[in-house]
Structure 1
């Protein structure tokens, strides 16, 4: 008899769909709820159901309130805390976890003060709502840029970091406090949007323990249950936390091909208190985000590729799918890169050559 609870997901975008798909082999009953265009129905929820979310924030409606106020909304106090960059960075300070030097942009701070403290280029980030490069504003001393008037008390200021590269760690914490992690992922962003990820890379393995210590401290402090992602800047052999995501994450999509348990199933196992062994890496893998580009069936002809298409309207800058490339055969991978350079828009030429340089 299946005694696992029903799981409701706040949000039915691509992450909700992939969480639902990953639950099927475990016979977990999942329903992802549209919270962007909600209806007026009342969900038939029971007291032992479980609620999770595919995003940190959601519009308020009777439907979202029913879900978010359920007593088994796992990590209910965490979403708001980490969605606000001020409280997120304050948590990192409390735990003595390194991040870019920062402060709140309050009514009293001036552009001159920020430049004096943080340098000629200072990055302002909206406290909430920004993602994929949105909600950011550069204060550049040489162009006399100013703090937007409506950003006072609604943004933080960060010192610009001259980092070597960007990495992320995806891990899971179980209800008993045990933490399990995937290998570090190397990420490349373009225009503020993740475009390519690679994992694992042996040259990053010496940073694994440092990253695991940081993320486990965060998850333990929050008594978190489920998958969390930590994006970092690498500066030499030091990691600085850039962003935390209390959910499955874009930089963990490679696990759908590269691990015997992907991040989506890992999250659902944790929520339902099911056993979780250490995931085994089956392939080195590269993930290529498909951004603002139409579906091309030629992608399916690649011998080492798996396509995940989100069935969303294609718009400029919008993530509409991703390709996972297994890297067990370097020649096949190089051939796939050559073909993708022909089939994908100009913006992919440099990222694909970057990918080749890392794996071939």
Structure 2
């Protein structure tokens, strides 16, 4: 294959896409589109364009990429980047999601509380991932809608969920869909801290999740990997967010599966043969958030380190660890060692991992 795959964005997802393309001899080129530039790329007519993010600033470079006729899923990114149009799509497709409405000039806190209860979550329509861009209306505190959020936010009913799960799947150009097992996720301050997959107790929800994500991908005529984050309420799932790209909660596939989410995405884009990824063993993914690299992590016999080579700042994703679960004793030993090496913010997530593996 002589065509190139260009990626709008050159963060860690773009870097991992480029890495995944090498065994297939795919020339994957992540592009920094966050800095204004008049640069033009040598795009060929048969080149393929994808994105590692839902939004990007407009520039000559980003326009050249996003208007290319092989920009796969071009109309989808903007539609899913806006929570108003994303939630509207879910309602249109009759895929379950939290009750919601647009916050406009006529919205009042009293009316929102009457519709959705004592606690109502406001979410900015665009941006605001990893816990940002959210505001709670609390009836007990008489909180008001911020004036500059009107028409730029949606209001959602607070969901008293049991836990958070996600499904990563892919749709091929022929319309066939392929899925990884459901992943159990733990968030702290709105940021994903740890994921576990697969878990036998989530298997009864797999077909429900696959049907929901299939409906979404087919409805959008989507090609490639998409992630669907859900709340679990008993034996029912509600969609929380959609991501039209490879996703943080799918990083475990790099260690646990014979085809990871990055290669599966490239296979779909390039119309290469696809099949359901084989799971080789359970895996735990630990996000590395705002902490310095510690080479002692590499001494763990079941650990793979992915370091993004970013400047370390509080709250910033700078890497992740994948821990292969060959047996629980080895996992327990690794988690106990990480508890010694990692700061306080990791103690609860590491305890959560252990509790999930040893729950009866």
TM, length-normalised to structure 1:
0.99
RMSD: 0.7
Equivalent residue, structure 2, for 1:185: 183
Query: 2 CA distance for matches of 1:125 and 1:49?
Result: 36
Q: How far apart in 2 are the matches of 1:302 and 1:329?
A: 14
In 1, Cα distance between equivalents of 2:33 and 2:132? 21
Aligned residues: 358
How far did residue 37 of structure 1 move?
2.3
Equivalent position of 1:158 in the other structure = 156
**Tell me, which stretches of 5 or more residues in structure 2 are unaligned?**
none
Paired residue for 2:348? 350
Give 1:186 shift: 0.2
1:237-248 alignment runs, 5 A limit = 237-248=235-246
Give 1:213's aligned residue. 211
Which residue number corresponds to residue 25 of structure 2? 27
Q: How does 1:113-132 map to 2 (within 5 A)?
A: 113-132=111-130
**2:10 matches 1:43:** no
Map 1:8-87 onto structure 2 (within 5 A): 8-87=6-85
User: Structure 1 segments of 4 or more deviating over 3 A?
Assistant: none
What whole-Å deviation, never above 9, does each CA across 1:270-300 have from its counterpart, x for those lacking one?
0000001211001100000000000000000
Deviates more, 1:228-237 or 1:337-346: 337-346
The answer to whether the Cα contact below 8 Å between 1:5 and 1:272 also exists between their aligned partners in 2 is: no
Unaligned runs of 5+ in 1: none
Shift of residue 4, structure 1, vs aligned partner: 5.1
User: 1:1-360 to 2 correspondence within 5 Å?
Assistant: 3=1, 5-360=3-358
Counterpart CA distance in 2 for 1:349 and 1:10 is 36
Q: Distance in 2 between matches of 1:38 and 1:305?
A: 39
The normalised TM-score by structure 2 is 0.99
Contact 1:23 1:29 in 2 (8 A): yes
Query: 2:48 and 2:58 mapped to 1: Cα distance?
Result: 19
Quick one: structure 1 residues 282 and 4, their matched pair in 2 at CA, closer, same or farther if it must change by over 3 Å?
Answer: farther
